[in-house]
A and B are shown apart, each in its own frame.
Chain A
Amino acid sequence: MTEFLAELWAFMKERKKFWLLPIFMVLLLLGMLIVLTQGSAVAPFIYTLF
């Protein structure tokens, strides 16, 4: 994983494609959040209003 990230960084640096950085970052962040938050609802069935 570290190797992949290093290669990705080297690619962006070499080709000057730094605009790819936010795309990779947001995809990585949201992917992690989707995995981490699955099955971890904080409070069950609590609603104040419809």
Chain B
Amino acid sequence: MLPGEPTRQAAFPRLGRLLLGIGVFGATFLFVGELFLRLVFWGGDSFSRHYGPIVQRFERDFKFNRFDGPSRGPEPPGPKLPDSVRIVIQGDSITWGQGVRNEEQLFSSRLLTRLRETDMPVDMAVLARPGREIDEHLQQLQKWGQELRPDVIIYQWYINDMELEKQDRPRTDRIWRHVFFHPILQQNSYLWFFLDFSLDTLLPSGTVPYESYARYIADNFNEGSAGWSTFERYFSEWATLAKELTPHVIVALYPYMSLKDGSPPAIRPEIVDIHTRMLSLCRTNNVLCLDLSASLVKFEDARAVRATAFDDHPSAEVHRVIAEELSEVIGAGMDHPL
């Protein structure tokens, strides 16, 4: 027997047991974590992003209309009838209904129902898709405007509609996103998706050059900036085309709000100036601007405004409020020119 041999013999089983223990620990951790989240998010949930298995589960039963997108919301049953009013709604993820499971709860569907209750012969086409900006809204109107021949055009605006160039947009760079299996797991694993979301939300990032998204928007789209001027140009082009199609054009401004649990929603001070400029831009282009801020700050708790606990998109209740506001404007506008 060579000196030291018994020690090696004793050490190997101990090392083997340790490795086995780590393996069993890791496998149990991953299996239980995945199982736990699949039970917690049994019906899926909406997160502030548009990918991942939990979100796909949530949106599994969504129905899409025939417009580009896939777009979500009512569509006309057939050719336009001579005595009917046709409403075209353009928008992004808000109109699309991110976080709202039931299509009947979208503001577009609610608006259609409300108007039909007043015996108005009306149909509707919704051209909405998450992430759509003003240039795409213009393209959509160019593509569908003549075919649809709308009597009313509603454009739901949100601050990111101005972001035609996105290279300066604040984004985090997380180390775990560089591993080769990240895209696969993020699309298929509840555990990986949720850990990615949670850690990205909770961990500070030194790579984001702006303290907030609102600050970035305020800095990059101030008056006279290239970003704002480009947006103005596209908006004017869109408004001109919309006015050629119908005199009834409404821009519904959805505000960027600070949503803190237990407190009323508050309009982000950084974007007040942008809202003021949007109202002025609407006046310049002779379109009606409906600022939804006043209605939305009336909510007592921000939780009622949020679509889900993990998604700041408007809730079904907020969709109801938007539909009410639009219904009043359209009801008044059909008697008198808007």
Interface on A for B, CB 8 Å cutoff? 18-19, 21-23, 25-27, 29-30, 33-34, 36-50
A37 touches B202 (CB 8 A): yes
Shortest Cβ gap from B68 to chain A (Å)? 10
B interface residues, tally (CB under 8 Å): 50
Closest chain A residue to B172 by CB distance?
A42
B50 touches A50 (CB 8 A): yes
- Residue B261 lies at the interface, judged by CB distance under 8 Å to chain A: yes
Closest chain B residue to A35 by CB distance?
B309
Closest 6 pairs between A and B when the two form their complex, measured CB to CB: A47-B131, A41-B48, A38-B309, A22-B29, A22-B28, A33-B198
A27 touches B311 (CB 8 A): no
B92 touches A45 (CB 8 A): yes
Chain A interface secondary structure, helix, strand, loop or mixed?
loop
Query: Restricting to B207-241, which residues have a CB under 8 Å from any CB of A?
Result: 213
Supposing A26-B29, A34-B40, A38-B310 touch, asked if A43 and B213 sit within 8 A by C-beta, the answer is yes
Cβ–Cβ < 8 Å partners of B166 in chain A: 48
- Residue B200 lies at the interface, judged by CB distance under 8 Å to chain A: yes
Cβ–Cβ < 8 Å partners of A48 in chain B: 131, 166
A50 touches B129 (CB 8 A): yes
Closest chain A residue to B93 by CB distance?
A45
- Residue B107 lies at the interface, judged by CB distance under 8 Å to chain A: no
29 examples of A-B residue contacts, CB within 8 angstroms: A19-B24, A22-B24, A25-B29, A26-B36, A27-B36, A34-B40, A36-B202, A37-B198, A37-B310, A38-B261, A39-B260, A39-B303, A39-B306, A40-B201, A41-B47, A41-B311, A42-B200, A44-B313, A45-B93, A45-B98, A45-B130, A45-B312, A47-B49, A47-B93, A49-B50, A49-B131, A50-B50, A50-B130, A50-B131
